[in-house]
Structure formats: structure tokens, C-alpha cells
A = this chain, B = another copy of it.
Amino acid sequence: MIHTNASGAVESLGLLPDHASLIVHGPDRPGIVAAVADVLRDRGANIVTLGQHSDNPAGGAFFQRTVFHLPGLSAALAELEAGLDRVVRDGLGLTWRLRDLSTPLRVGILASKSDHCLLELLWRQRRGELPITVPAVISNHPDVADHVRFFGIPFFHVPSAGADREGPEKEMADLLVGNVDLVVLARYMRVLSGDFLNDVGVPVINIHHSFLPAFIGAGPYRKAKERGVKLIGATAHYVTEDLDEGPIIEQDVVRVSHAESVAELTRRGADVERQVLARAVLWHCQDRVIRHHNHTVVL
């Protein structure tokens, strides 16, 4: 069997043994960097990467991502977390979260007929470019089943049922809840209900086939052709109840001309969609993306 990630998974997925990423987020105030660095140093952790942002040093919001190396991380976690609670949460009034970077994220993928975004993710996962496992690909069409299974990944066909969203959504939630840390809509063409988003209970990333907020809704390449734009793009964003309005993680564009038909724009755009979605999923899985109001800070 060729595509197993059983042994050697650590290397092949870009996982980092004994490394963790720490996000600290909340109201800005003096001394946060020093306090966090002290907690880490006092427990023997070595800072590998530190990114920091303050949207207004005079009383705005503070964001920090710190990747550190700590030999024997799993054994040391409990004490470290207690320290963070005491110093960061109680002492500074900030929220923190910690992700063990030696463990892959479990990602469920929803697709429809298009395979380009789906295969890009599966191919990068197999190549070791995404620190994820994929317990399930679910589609409302059977078209991509063989290719998904060739990658050794379970495929589930959950047909749409016309106006009834509730049945298929319940079926999908049953497959996903408890089994995934993230859901990715890889050109899944149905609008998901707020109830489904609540039930699933993990972040959901969508790829929209336009440079949002231009061309919200259906048919963006046709609209782009009609408006005569000279660039087309794609946007990866977290899904909220407001369609195409969630926090943007990543965007990119490509130059087009009058000579390209809607079909050609669609093909050109597919290349952008693949790249943008892959970057957004990677950054989410590296815990580089912090949501704040309706924005993201990518550190």
C-alpha cells in the first residue's frame, strides 16, 4: 500500500515533535510579551518563532503567536497550562490557547462535483505539505468517489434532498461530530444552515470563487465577465451564518483579458481557488489565524 501515513507520519506531514504554538489574545496593555516569555522560559521552553500584533497600542487588541520547543512537551503540558491560566488569564485578563504541533488536525472535507480544490488538498496531504489527517470526504455527488478512495480516504455520498436541508445536514453532522477538528468546503455548492454550523461545533472554512466582497453569491465568473474586470480572484474565509460575509483568511487574483470566455475564466479561477484554499487550510492548521470581530490576524 503506497499512501499510508502510518509510520514516518511525523516527517511526512510537517509535524514537529515537542513543539507547540501558543496564541495569546485580548486587550493590549504593557508587559504582555515579557510575562508570556517568562512563563515559557521558567518551564524550559525555547521560543522558535514569535509574531505579534497590536491594532492600537493605546488601548486596542493584542495578538501574539509563539511557537516553542519543550523537550518532553506532553508530560510538561499540565504545569505549563496552569502557569498560563495564572499569569495570562488571571493576571493579564487575556485568553490563550495552545496547540500541540506534533499532532495532525483532523479535517473533514465537503465537496460537490468539482474536484480541483478537493484533490489539491488530498494531494498536498499525501505529499506531507499539510499537517492533517482526513477522516472523511463527504459529497452530494458520487463523481469524486473513486479518486478519493484511491488516496486511501473514506468517501461518503450524502445526496441533496431538494429544499430539505435538515436530513442531509443531520447525516453529515453524524459523520463529522467528534471525528474532526475542522471542516473544509472544497467547492461544496450548498448553503449550510446555522443549525448545522452549531452542531458541527468546529471551524468551517469555505473557498469562494471571487475576490470578495466583489461578486457575492452565485455565478461570480459570469458576473466578472459581465462587469469586464481585468483580474479575477478567490477568497478563503471562515463560514458564518451570513453567506460570503465571514472573516477572510486569504485571497489572491490572476490577470485576465477580454479574450477569455466565462468557461476560461472558470478554469483560470480554479487555479487560484486551489492555491488560496491550500494556504488558508495550512495556516489554520498551524494555528496562525486569529479571529477578531469579522477579521483575521494571520501571524
Binding site for B on A (CB under 8 A): 2, 30-34, 37-38, 40-41, 44-55, 57, 69, 115-116, 119, 123, 127, 129, 146-147, 150, 211-215, 227-231, 233, 247-248, 250-253, 257-259, 267, 271, 275, 294-298
> Are B214 and A231 in contact (CB-based, < 8 A)?
no
11 example contacts (A-B, Cβ-Cβ < 8 A) are as follows A2-B146, A30-B41, A32-B47, A33-B50, A34-B40, A34-B41, A147-B150, A211-B214, A212-B229, A229-B248, A231-B233
By a CB distance below 8 angstroms, the chain B residues around A214 are 211-214
> Are B54 and A49 in contact (CB-based, < 8 A)?
yes
Q: Chain B's nearest CB lies how many Å from the CB of A185? A: 19
By a CB distance below 8 angstroms, the chain B residues around A298 are 257-258
> Are A47 and B38 in contact (CB-based, < 8 A)?
no
Contact A251:B229 (CB < 8 A) given known A47-B33, A49-B52: yes
> Are A296 and B258 in contact (CB-based, < 8 A)?
yes
The 8 closest A-B pairs by CB, nearest first: A34-B37, A228-B295, A214-B214, A30-B46, A34-B41, A50-B52, A230-B251, A258-B297
> Are B33 and A37 in contact (CB-based, < 8 A)?
yes
In angstroms, Cα B81 to Cα A240, docked, is: 49
By a CB distance below 8 angstroms, the chain B residues around A259 are 49, 53
In angstroms, Cα B119 to Cα A147, docked, is: 13
By a CB distance below 8 angstroms, the chain B residues around A54 are 48-49
In angstroms, Cα B141 to Cα A52, docked, is: 41
> Are A51 and B48 in contact (CB-based, < 8 A)?
no
By a CB distance below 8 angstroms, the chain B residues around A30 are 41, 44-47
In angstroms, Cα B68 to Cα A26, docked, is: 19
> Are A48 and B57 in contact (CB-based, < 8 A)?
yes
> Are B53 and A47 in contact (CB-based, < 8 A)?
no
Complex: chain B residue closest to A233, CB-CB = B231
Q: Chain B's nearest CB lies how many Å from the CB of A131? A: 13
By a CB distance below 8 angstroms, the chain B residues around A248 are 227-230
By a CB distance below 8 angstroms, the chain B residues around A146 are 2
By a CB distance below 8 angstroms, the chain B residues around A252 are 230-231
> Are A53 and B258 in contact (CB-based, < 8 A)?
yes
By a CB distance below 8 angstroms, the chain B residues around A119 are 123
By a CB distance below 8 angstroms, the chain B residues around A38 are 34, 37-38
- With most chain B CB atoms within 10 A of its CB, the pick from A52, A54, A150, A228 is A228
Complex: chain B residue closest to A278, CB-CB = B271
Contact of A211 among B50, B211, B294, B295 (CB under 8 A): B211
> Are A129 and B212 in contact (CB-based, < 8 A)?
no
> Are A46 and B41 in contact (CB-based, < 8 A)?
no
Q: Chain B's nearest CB lies how many Å from the CB of A183? A: 21
> Are A228 and B258 in contact (CB-based, < 8 A)?
no
In angstroms, Cα B8 to Cα A214, docked, is: 35
